[in-house]
Amino acid sequence: MNDSEKLQRLKELLLDEDRDFAQKILHKLESLDQTIQTPEKLSEKVNPIIDKKLDVFVEEIPTKLGPTIADALTKSQDKVVEALFPIIGKMIKKYIQQEINQLTEKINSQVQDTFSIQKWQRKIKAFFSGVSEQEIILSEINKAKLEQIFVIEKGSGLLIASASNSESIDEDMIAGMLTAIKSFVEDAFINGQQSLESIQYELSEIYIQNFTSYYIAVVISGELNTSVKNELENKLFDFAQKNPISETTTKEELSLQLKTLLANE
């Protein structure tokens, strides 16, 4: 073994361990580099950590961000209103414009119908009643219309007869639920001594006329003013007088009478 071989052997003995170590680090680095450069591998490693952090974040939103947002909204109410006002304002304006256009069209079509009998009837009515023709037209446009009539047995809520101008859910169920609501209100708020007379919802109203063993519920759309209500009451009393309800009354014949009442309205 010459000197250079000895030197080489010495180098191997001294540096082999370090070289192995350096080699291992190099492998590690290459592996890490590959992980970072390959999106699939990187997401495999990172996703669980992000998911866990996100879960914690979501859990903490109500406690941490909730009060902050509420506080920010309270402090800057004016700014919020300022930001929302144009959007909501535009929506309301558009809706009102549309409604006014529809109303104008209806009024115009009625006013332009110069030669109709209704127009002359209106003019005469306006002259004698002192109410302007425009107001009469407006009242005619939103005139109350009978949509459905139910004759319902008191207490049991069983449907005796019904008639309808439009499709609705099962009449027996309506009769039962209406009776349950009526009974509940009468028990809870008016001490059972008085009777529920109407239920209002947006553009319609259920008018209730009580009789001894049954009641009549009328679904009305449009404006139910006092004079229309009086007229309706009279019609229902007439109906009850002409059609006394007994054990022999059939659902079909009474429903037919109700249909006539709706048609003549």
Partner 1 sequence: MNNSKKIVLIGHFGVGKSSLVRRYVQNTFTDNYMVTIGVHIVKKEIQLNQKSITLIIWDIEGKDDIKKVRASYLIGTSGFIYVVDPTRPQTYEHITSEINFITTQYPKAKYLTVANKSDLIEPEEIKRLFDSLQIKIDYFASAKSGDEVSSVFENLAQQLLDNV
Footprint on this chain of partner 1 (rule: CB under 8 A) = 153-160, 170, 172-173, 176-177, 180, 183-184, 186-187, 192, 247-251
Q: Locate 194 and state its tokens.
A: 């008085």
**Closest separation between CB of residue 186 and partner 1, Å?**
7
Within the chain, where are the H helices?
3-37, 39-60, 66-75, 77-112, 117-129, 133-141, 171-188, 226-242, 251-263
Cβ contact 146:218 at 8 Å: yes
Nearer to partner 1, 152 or 220 (CB): 152
Q: CA separation (Å) from 91 to 85, 95, 98?
A: 10, 6, 11
Nearer to partner 1, 70 or 158 (CB): 158
**Closest separation between CB of residue 155 and partner 1, Å?**
4
Nearer to partner 1, 53 or 251 (CB): 251
Q: How far apart are CA 112 and CA 126, in angstroms?
A: 17
**Closest separation between CB of residue 255 and partner 1, Å?**
10
Q: How far apart are CA 143 and CA 104, in angstroms?
A: 16
Nearer to partner 1, 95 or 184 (CB): 184
Cβ contact 236:228 at 8 Å: no
Nearer to partner 1, 178 or 232 (CB): 178
- Between helix 77-112 and helix 66-75 the angle, nearest 10°, is 70
Q: CA separation (Å) from 94 to 9, 27, 85, 106?
A: 94, 69, 14, 19
Nearer to partner 1, 144 or 174 (CB): 174
**Closest separation between CB of residue 249 and partner 1, Å?**
6
**Closest separation between CB of residue 251 and partner 1, Å?**
4
**Closest separation between CB of residue 260 and partner 1, Å?**
19
